[in-house]
């Protein structure tokens, strides 16, 4: 069974190797994971479809699993091959994951490639959006919202003050990229955000944004 120390070691190794796509040195802490999964659960008896984007080693998945109803289905989409292998091993061997193995898919790929008609009730994203171009951030946020059913929720996080801190030590091109990200996020927030949480007891502290289709 994959262990917690192995999980953190793997995450750190992939951070070093693929910082652009990993974006953090360790999996999300439990308080951040709790905030991200706040809207996963639904009314009793209603089958729901949940999508986790960029699950990494499965730290947030461990908070999604208890919130799933008996008929809910979970899809996880991950681009990193080593994380994909670990998630599949967890579904096969980890006692926390095995109860949902028969109604869970691990998809290797980018979320931009998913069918926009998927119809999810909740999407939880761990993508490091602040590492991407403003154009890609706008594309990803639009795609995540398009994947939701009417009334469905998208929850994602970013570290507090990260763009401002980067801008202070960056050149003109990087500052322009950060401004484009801010513009893309603000457009999504103005249309869809209904709640924003501060998670101070995380390293680093984070905002969790909740958007509704």
pLDDT tens readout for residues 143-177: 999 999 999 999 999 999 999 999 999 999 999 99
pTM summary value: 0.87
Where exactly are the structural domains of the chain? 4-212
pLDDT value at position 128?
93
Cα–Cα dist 35/176, whole Å: 30
Confidence of residue 92 (pLDDT cuts 50, 70, 90): very high
Burial per residue of 53-84, b for 16 or more beta-carbon CB atoms within 10 angstroms, e otherwise: bbbbbbbbbbbbbebbbeebbbbbbbbbebbb
- The DSSP 8-state label assigned to residue 69 in this structure reads -
pLDDT value at position 2?
55
Cα–Cα dist 147/118, whole Å: 6
Give the contacts of 74 (CB within 8 A, at least 6 positions apart): 50, 51, 52, 61, 64, 65, 68, 100, 103, 104, 105
pLDDT value at position 188?
98
pLDDT at residue 64 tops 60: yes
pLDDT tens readout for residues 17-35: 544 544 454 567 899 999 9
Whether omega before 204 lies within 30 degrees of 0, making that bond cis, reads yes
Q: Which of 132, 109, 111, 128 is nearest to 120 (CA)?
A: 111
pLDDT value at position 102?
97
């998630």: which residue's tokens?
Answer: 87
Q: Return the ∠ at Cα 124 (arms to 121 and 128), rounded to 5°.
A: 150
pLDDT value at position 46?
85
Confidence of residue 199 (pLDDT cuts 50, 70, 90): very high
Confidence of residue 44 (pLDDT cuts 50, 70, 90): confident
Of the candidate ranges 15-29, 174-188, 196-210, the one whose mean pLDDT is the lowest: 15-29
| Annotation: CATH topology of 4-212 | Rossmann fold (3.40.50)
């Amino acid at each position: 069974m994959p262990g917690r120390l192995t999980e953190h070691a793997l995450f750190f190794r992939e951070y070093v190797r693929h910082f652009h796509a990993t974006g953090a040195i360790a999996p999300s802490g439990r308080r951040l994971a709790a905030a991200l999964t706040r809207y996963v659960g639904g009314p009793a008896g209603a089958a729901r479809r949940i999508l986790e984007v960029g699950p990494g080693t499965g730290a947030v998945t461990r908070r999604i699993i208890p919130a799933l109803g008996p008929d809910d289905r979970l899809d996880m989409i991950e681009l990193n091959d080593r994380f994909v292998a670990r998630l599949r091993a967890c579904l096969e061997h980890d006692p926390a994951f095995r109860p949902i193995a028969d109604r869970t898919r691990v998809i290797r790929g980018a979320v931009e490639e998913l069918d926009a008609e998927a119809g999810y009730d909740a999407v939880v994203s761990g993508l490091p959006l602040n590492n991407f171009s403003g154009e890609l951030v706008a594309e990803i946020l639009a795609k995540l919202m398009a994947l939701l059913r009417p009334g469905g929720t998208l929850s994602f996080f970013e570290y507090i003050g990260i763009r401002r801190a980067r801008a202070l030590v960056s050149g003109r091109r990087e500052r322009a990229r950060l401004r484009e990200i801010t513009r893309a996020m603000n457009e999504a927030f103005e249309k869809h955000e209904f709640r924003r949480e501060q998670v101070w007891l995380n390293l680093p502290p984070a905002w969790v944004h909740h958007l509704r289709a």
